Amino acid sequence: MSDYAPQGFRMLPTVVKNLIIINVIFFLATLVLERQGFYNITNMLALNPALSGRFHVWQLVTYMFMHANVGHIFFNMFALWMFGYVLENYWGARRFLFYYLVCGVGAGLVNLLVPGWDFTVGASGAVYGILLAFGMMFPNERIYLYFLMPIKAKWFVIGYALIELFEGVFSTGNVAHFAHLGGMLFGLLLILYWRKHPFSRF
């Protein structure tokens, strides 16, 4: 299978649309269940440390659909749409979905190796994988930083990766920077594999 699998260009293709819908449903369900005191869904679906006693293998998938607040889900879903719709049109739905899930799970696996955190939620690892893919597929495409400053996608991606590495090493905040890098790493490995085995199936 080649990289390019045209299926007609759409601004909101099927996988991106459904991923956004599922994330919004999970977010609203979390608000309703937890604010009303019915059930702490975060404990069950967020990614917990491997030795915490709260870790379950399904959390490597479900944590991608959980978000901490409105700003968190808005920016993740905006980035998913902004870069994802181009990639889904370019790759096709099946390959795009497979890539997204691999990046998200890979980000979670990398995060499990990092000490000192309580739990992790968010699609950011998968989204950073999508950002990496966009930079590799369209390296000279211009992205407008803060909607004002044009920068080529390849430099945009490299810059973000370096920022995440710096923040991961030196920051003391609660952002899972190494999960972001993990999503990019697994995305890179998968794209390189596809390029070496262009007729692979999954």
Q: Write out the catalytic residue numbers.
A: 124, 180
Which residue do the tokens 């190494």 mark? 178
On whether the CB atoms of residues 117 and 49 are closer than 8 A, the answer is yes
Characterize 39-57 residue by residue with b for buried, 16 or more Cβ atoms within 10 angstroms of its Cβ, and e for exposed: eebbeebbbbbeeeeeeee
Residues with Cβ within 8 Å of residue 40, at least 6 apart in sequence: 33, 34
Encoded amino acid at 79, one letter: A
CA-nearest of 48, 18, 22 to 121 is 48
Tokens of 88: 């889904």
Give the C-alpha separation, 59 to 50, whole Å: 10
Give the C-alpha separation, 28 to 17, whole Å: 17
φ, ψ for residue 123, nearest 5 deg = -90, 10
Please tell me the number of Cα atoms within 13 Å of 39 on its side-chain side.
6
